[in-house]
Amino acid sequence: MPEGPSVRKFHHLVSSFVGQQVVKTGGSSKKLHPDGFQALWLQDAQVHGKKLFLRFDPDEEMGRPGNNHPVLESPCRGAQGEGAADQKQASWPHGPKISDGAFHSAELVVLQGGDGPVCLRGDTPAGGAERWLQVRFGLFGSVWVNEFSRAKKANKRGDWKDPVPRLILHFGGGGFLVFYNCQMSWSSSPVVTPTCDILSEKFHRGQALEALGQAQPVCYTLLDQRHFSGLGNIIKNEALYKAGIHPLALGSLLSPSRLEALVDHVVEFSTDWLQGKLEGKQKHTQIYQKEHCPAGHQVMKKALGPPSGFQRLTWWCPHCQPQLSSEGPEQSQLSEGVKDSLHGTLPFGDRDA
């Protein structure tokens, strides 16, 4: 799924529509019917890690200053839309019907979400509570502004088929948003813990270091969203390489300075990646999906992860990221289980991704 920097950019794109009313809808979503967004007002947008939260209200007045709702820091300014701004295109040419029917005050709309049915009336949200749409993106999830994603290559059958939008929202200001490959559900409030969000100003280094110090491979801990929200496989691989740490090194046996350096590289790479996205620059990696590291050494790769958890492909350089020896302050002998997980590991070119 998109990592923290990508979702932060999505948040930046969506934020420009805050304060506008939905006037037309479309999309393929069956869990949350697009018609249910008709005439609602987008009142707020927040981001946490890999999740985007959007607040919709039936009444414009509910978004006026003075209402109590949590606020997260805004992303950097100056982004260009992902698939930005072909404002002449106002409808999806190949797909679900666009609805522009009225949302009357007496009409009851039932939306199925993660918290069960959510009822929204035209005059007030259910129980007067603010309603937040939680968006979780899939592997190829994205948000487009004022245009639609197009096929970049033919599928296995040779067809050039454009991606199908999950949700399309046209706004009174004339623009529209398109959401692809995502799961959406309603909740009463955004679930945020900024102290573990790697791109938040409130990110707590002490808590991150404590988590990394556990007696388990650091590559497992880095992908734990409870401690490093927004951190994904690309950031994991790049930060470990920059810190010169083997992905299966046990955090409890790494020196405090090494762990601090790893956290520094996580934040630095993530911040630079976000800034590059906002400036429209291409991301450049040193180890992720590479056959050789910058020093010219052959890269190794293997799917690594907790025995009962998700396995993610990991790239590392055995020369620049050596396994720790039993000498020195970082005395480390990998557990038998971790050693077994490396059994059969081959250089990059010898295994399929």
Do 10 and 142 touch, CB atoms closer than 8 A?
Answer: yes
50 belongs to the catalytic site: yes
Which pairs count as long-range contacts for 199-206, CB under 8 Å and 24+ apart, including other chains? 199/4, 199/5, 199/8, 199/230, 199/270, 199/271, 199/274, 200/48, 200/72, 200/73, 201/73, 202/73, 203/267, 205/260, 205/263
pLDDT (0 to 100) of residue 158: 80
Is pLDDT above 50 for 117?
no
* Least confident stretch, 25-29, 103-107, 182-186, 289-293: 103-107
Query: Residues 3, 82, 130, 238: which is the catalytic one?
Result: 3
Identify the residue whose tokens are 């697009």: 34
Do 183 and 210 touch, CB atoms closer than 8 A?
Answer: no
Mean pLDDT for 324-331 is 51
Query: Residues 121, 136, 283, 312: which is the catalytic one?
Result: 312
Is pLDDT above 50 for 347?
no
Q: How far is Cα 335 from Cα 112, in angstroms, rounded to an integer?
A: 46
pLDDT (0 to 100) of residue 61: 63
pLDDT (0 to 100) of residue 30: 87
Domains, in order of start, for the chain = 4-187 (3.20.190.10), 195-350 (1.10.8.50)
pLDDT (0 to 100) of residue 56: 96
Mean pLDDT for 134-144 is 95
Which pairs count as long-range contacts for 295-303, CB under 8 Å and 24+ apart, including other chains? 295/319, 295/320, 298/347, 298/348, 299/347, 299/348, 300/345, 300/346, 300/347, 300/348, 301/345, 301/347, 301/348, 301/351, 301/353, 302/341, 302/342, 302/345, 302/351
**Percent residues over pLDDT 70 in the chain:** 72
Q: Higher-confidence residue: 336 or 322?
A: 322
101 pLDDT band, cuts 50/70/90, is very low
Do 82 and 141 touch, CB atoms closer than 8 A?
Answer: no
Q: Higher-confidence residue: 312 or 113?
A: 312
Is pLDDT above 50 for 114?
no
pLDDT (0 to 100) of residue 129: 57
**Percent residues over pLDDT 90 in the chain:** 61
pLDDT (0 to 100) of residue 285: 96
294 pLDDT band, cuts 50/70/90, is very high
pLDDT (0 to 100) of residue 311: 93
pLDDT (0 to 100) of residue 155: 76
pLDDT, mean over the chain: 79
250 pLDDT band, cuts 50/70/90, is very high
Mean pLDDT for 181-199 is 92
Query: Residues 50, 51, 55, 166: which is the catalytic one?
Result: 50
Residue range 38-64, pLDDT digits in tens = 999 999 999 999 999 999 999 876 555
Q: Which residues contact 262 (CB under 8 A, 6 or more apart)?
A: 212, 218, 239, 240, 243, 245, 254
Is pLDDT above 90 for 207?
yes
Residue range 163-178, pLDDT digits in tens = 999 999 999 999 999 9
327 belongs to the catalytic site: no
> Beta strand 176-187 with 131-145: parallel, antiparallel or unpaired?
antiparallel
Is pLDDT above 60 for 328?
no
* Least confident stretch, 100-109, 114-123, 177-186, 228-237: 100-109
Mean pLDDT for 314-323 is 96
Is pLDDT above 90 for 243?
yes
pLDDT (0 to 100) of residue 36: 92
Do 315 and 289 touch, CB atoms closer than 8 A?
Answer: yes
Q: How far is Cα 144 from Cα 164, in angstroms, rounded to an integer?
A: 12
Residue range 255-285, pLDDT digits in tens = 999 999 999 999 999 999 999 999 999 889 9
